[in-house]
């Protein structure tokens, strides 16, 4: 096809079409697709994954310039996995062969690629439409609604197969789905890894020729079977937006707990100057702090937090990538208990703190009788949650001993539901005659100096 690159050169775009007995439709689609791709002005290839056609589909696709792969394993999920693995493009576009996905719409998906790593042609966002039998449409809307709400995913059309993917992210996602539920699985896992998903309004029309190979009831059953597995992922700390969702939780007690912690921590850190949020995750606390830098070891959480506008650094709390005395305030919420109980850890937090700087620590109080009652319930109610990754246990006595060891003075102490302790510790002032530090707010240059010296 025109614009196709040599095998030794990676094209900008791979168009991936999964087919079974689609000769008549491909005869119409591929020439239109060729014209559309030439208008985009990008290098491209077309890959057809054939699931065992008996109507001459393979020969027709090859004669029109497509690269044809014969599917090895059975099922739509296997076809998608094999096609994604074989695609050579920097971006991968998937569409159906039956012309229900208008190839002219590819230009709109391509134009939106700077807004997200996955771009969906969506029937159910404002401006989109779907012309299909009423029963199928109702079932599709219900399944999409249940899946999106139950998994807290801000996507209206999770079952649309008309998508544009950044190739680098889909190759890193392990897909297990065997049927059309692989489409939802891919979205959930990508979003949980912090990648952006964008929907572009699209109008869907029924296929031109032949009958659909999708069986909506069977698809619905496989989708519901995969729901439980993906629900565990969405409610584990492996999900990039775990902390932010907890702040907006529909569970009153969880929401109240998160907001009490937020109010105490941000009040303590308010006006403190240059602030480092160690183990920031996707917490709303970072978004509420001024002059703040977020640090986390989880790249997915940092990807998700790109929208907050704060400088973000990937690093380890045990070896902070900052110079001594770089920050006026260090916030460390719900991190200590997930790391080995080593005195050097607190020493590292103190090291990057300026003279007379403020350290704010929040952690479950294992000296509290209330927490000891709550902890088993919390562990059962949050599969994959923070209590499943507990390495150390702190209480007020242990924190006081560590503070004294590092020359810190406790100035304030508060509890969330008598279970989580939040303590403000002040670093001792410099000896008379030592040089002080300025209090310039940390813009990008200041953060760069703090990291690199």
Find the CATH number of the domain harbouring 365: 3.40.50.150
Asked if residue 3 is part of any domain, the answer here is no
- Domain check: are 378 and 307 in the same one? yes
User: How many structural domains compose the chain?
Assistant: 2
Q: Give the residue from 170, 199, 234 where a domain finishes.
A: 234
Residues of the chain with pLDDT > 90, as a percent, come to: 65
Q: Among 214, 335, 343, which Cα is nearest to 279's? A: 335
| Burial (CB count <10 Å: 0-12, 13-18, 19+), residue 451 | middle
In 205-358, alpha helices (H) = 216-234, 242-247, 252-269, 284-288, 299-304, 343-351
Cα angle 399, 405, 407 (rounded to 5 degrees) comes to 100
Asked whether residue 442 is domain-assigned, the answer is yes
Q: How many CB atoms lie within 10 A of CB 89?
A: 22
How far apart are the C-alpha atoms of 201 and 199, rounded to whole Å? 7
Residue 96 tokens, joined:
């159906």
Give the domain range for residue 410.
242-452
Both 215 and 108 in one domain: the answer is yes
Same domain as 360, residue 281? yes
Q: Is 272 a member of any domain?
A: yes
pLDDT digits (tens, 9 = 90+) for 73-90: 999 999 999 999 999 999
Give a yes or no: residue 5 inside a domain: no
Say yes or no: 382 and 248 in one domain.
yes
Backbone φ, ψ for residue 226 (5° rounding) = -80, -10
pTM: 0.85
Residues 333, 145: Cα–Cα separation, whole Å: 34
Tens digit of each residue's pLDDT (9 = 90 or more) over 171-200: 889 998 888 899 999 999 999 999 999 999
17 and 60 fall within a common domain: yes
Q: Per-residue pLDDT tens for 307-357?
A: 998 999 999 998 999 999 999 999 999 888 888 877 778 899 999 999 999
421 and 409 Cβ atoms separated by less than 8 Å: no
What's the rounded Cα separation, in Å, for the pair 101 and 230?
28
Of 274, 411, 273, 264, the closest CA to residue 334 belongs to 264
Domain boundary among 174, 199, 234: 234
Q: Do residue 168 and residue 189 come from a single domain?
A: yes
Q: Mind listing the pLDDT tens digit for each residue in 128-172?
A: 999 988 888 898 898 889 889 999 999 999 999 999 999 999 988
Both 309 and 335 in one domain: the answer is: yes
Phi-psi region of 248 (alpha: psi -120 to 50; beta: other; left: phi over 0): alpha
Altogether, the residues listed in the chain come to a count of 453
User: In this structure, are 212 and 316 located in the same domain?
Assistant: no
Residues 225 and 247 in one domain: no
Would you call 122 exposed, middle or buried from its count of C-beta atoms within 10 A (0-12, 13-18, 19+)?
buried
- The pLDDT tens digits of the residues spanning 367-405 come to 999 988 888 877 776 666 655 566 778 889 989 999 999
146 and 187, same domain (yes or no): yes
Instruction: Give me the residue label for tokens 């996955």.
Output: 118
Q: What does the block give as tokens for 217?
A: 């009831």
Give the residue from 218, 234, 250 where a domain finishes: 234
Q: Is the same domain home to 207 and 313? A: no
Contact 275, 291 (CB under 8 A): yes
């Amino acid at each position: 096809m025109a614009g196709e690159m040599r095998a030794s050169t990676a094209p900008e775009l791979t168009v991936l079409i999964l087919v079974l007995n689609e000769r008549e439709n491909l005869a119409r689609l591929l020439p239109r697709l060729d014209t559309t791709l030439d208008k985009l002005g990008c290098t491209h290839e077309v890959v057809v994954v054939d699931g065992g056609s008996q109507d001459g589909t393979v020969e027709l696709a090859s004669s029109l310039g497509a690269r044809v792969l014969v599917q090895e394993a059975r099922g739509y999920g296997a076809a998608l996995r094999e096609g994604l693995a074989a695609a050579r493009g920097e971006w991968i576009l998937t569409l159906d062969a039956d012309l229900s996905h208008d190839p002219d719409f590819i230009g709109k998906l391509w134009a939106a690629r700077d807004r997200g790593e996955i771009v969906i042609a969506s029937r159910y966002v404002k401006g989109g439409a779907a012309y299909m039998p009423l029963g199928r449409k109702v079932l599709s809307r219900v399944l999409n609604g249940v899946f999106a709400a139950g998994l807290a995913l801000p996507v209206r059309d999770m079952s649309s197969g008309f998508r544009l993917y950044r190739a680098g992210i889909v190759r890193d996602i392990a897909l297990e789905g065997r049927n059309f539920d692989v489409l939802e699985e891919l979205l959930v896992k990508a979003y949980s890894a912090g990648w952006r998903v964008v929907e572009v309004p699209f109008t869907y029309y029924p296929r031109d020729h032949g009958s659909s190979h999708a069986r909506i009831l069977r698809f619905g059953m496989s989708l519901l079977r995969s729901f439980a597995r993906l629900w565990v992922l969405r409610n584990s700390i492996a999900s990039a937006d775990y902390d932010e969702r907890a702040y907006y939780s529909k569970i009153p007690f969880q929401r109240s707990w998160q907001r009490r912690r937020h109010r105490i921590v941000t009040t303590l850190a308010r006006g403190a100057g240059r602030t480092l949020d160690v183990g920031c995750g996707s917490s709303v606390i970072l978004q509420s702090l001024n002059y703040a830098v977020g640090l986390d070891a989880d790249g997915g959480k940092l990807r998700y937090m790109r929208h907050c506008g704060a400088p973000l650094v990937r690093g380890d709390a045990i070896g902070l990538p900052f110079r001594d005395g770089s920050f006026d305030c260090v916030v460390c919420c719900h991190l200590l208990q997930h790391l080995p109980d080593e005195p050097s850890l607190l020493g590292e937090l103190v090291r990057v703190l300026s003279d007379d700087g403020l350290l704010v620590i929040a952690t479950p109080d294992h000296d509290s009788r209330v927490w000891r009652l709550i902890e088993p319930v919390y562990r059962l109610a949050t599969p994959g949650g923070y209590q499943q990754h507990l390495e150390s246990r702190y209480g007020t006595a242990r924190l006081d001993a560590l503070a004294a060891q590092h020359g810190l003075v406790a100035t304030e102490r508060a509890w969330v539901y008598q279970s989580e302790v939040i303590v403000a510790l002040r670093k001792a002032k410099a000896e008379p005659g030592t040089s002080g530090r300025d209090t310039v707010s940390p813009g990008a240059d200041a953060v760069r100096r703090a990291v690199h010296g």
